[in-house]
């Protein structure tokens, strides 16, 4: 008999993706994602894109592509470790981006979206990912794309499984905020 932990059910990967369309200074996209494995945060990231998007839908769709790429890489790693992972559930707060990804929203307004991002649609059609709409109020990836109220910030930090650690932790957060795209002090997070 081997000692260890086993599970008869598939592991569930979920990713929350968000984008900040056309930030004030450079008009470039800022995107963020958070990946959860069975409800536990295992990866997150935020990045400013070198491209200018022409619509909120396009910026959310680009963020969606980035989040899905990260998640599929993690899914492959988990599979190599011998675990099964079900469909990846991808949460977005933009229904137009969801419709474009599902092939329901192709229109004159979305034709300009770069073909490389339509890889997302292919992943949906192959049933590798499932797109799910989440209201902006519960979009935890907002933590990486925009300033938040004190309550919302604390809620999202708690959902990530993180906690505040006193004065030294606050100083670390302040240093990160000095470098953020908004160029505000720590106060923009509270």
Full pLDDT tens readout for the chain, 190 residues? 456 555 556 789 999 988 887 666 666 677 888 899 998 889 888 887 777 777 778 888 888 888 898 988 999 999 999 998 888 999 998 888 888 788 775 555 555 565 666 778 888 888 888 888 988 787 887 777 777 787 787 777 777 777 666 655 554 443 344 444 433 334 444 3
Residue pLDDT, tens place only, 3-37: 655 555 678 999 998 888 766 666 667 788 889 99
What does each C-alpha distance from 62 to 30, 84, 113, 165, 186 come to in angstroms? Answer: 10, 27, 9, 34, 28
Reading the block at residue 130, the tokens are 């499932």
Give all domains of the chain, ordered by start, each with its CATH number.
Answer: 13-146 (3.30.420.10), 148-190 (no CATH)
Please answer whether residues 71 and 13 qualify as being in contact, where contact means their C-beta atoms are separated by less than 8 angstroms. yes
Whether the full predicted model's pTM is greater than 0.85, yes or no, is: no
CA distance 46 to 143: 9
């Amino acid at each position: 008999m081997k000692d260890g932990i086993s599970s008869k059910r598939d592991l569930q990967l979920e990713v929350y993706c968000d984008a900040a369309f056309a930030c004030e200074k450079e008009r470039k996209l800022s995107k963020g994602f958070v990946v959860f494995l069975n409800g536990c945060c295992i990866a997150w990231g935020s990045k400013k894109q070198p491209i200018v998007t022409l619509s909120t839908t396009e910026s959310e769709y680009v963020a969606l592509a980035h989040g899905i790429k990260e998640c599929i890489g993690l899914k492959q790693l988990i599979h190599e470790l011998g675990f099964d992972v079900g469909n990846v559930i991808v949460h977005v707060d933009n229904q137009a981006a969801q419709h474009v990804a599902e092939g329901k929203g192709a229109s004159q307004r979305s034709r300009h979206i770069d073909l490389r991002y339509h890889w997302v649609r292919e992943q949906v059609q192959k049933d590798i990912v499932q797109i799910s709409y989440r209201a902006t109020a519960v979009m935890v990836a907002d933590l990486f794309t925009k300033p938040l109220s004190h309550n919302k910030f604390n809620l999202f930090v708690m959902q990530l499984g993180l906690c505040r650690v006193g004065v030294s932790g606050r100083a670390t957060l302040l240093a990160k905020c000095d470098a953020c795209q908004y160029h505000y002090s720590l106060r923009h997070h509270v």
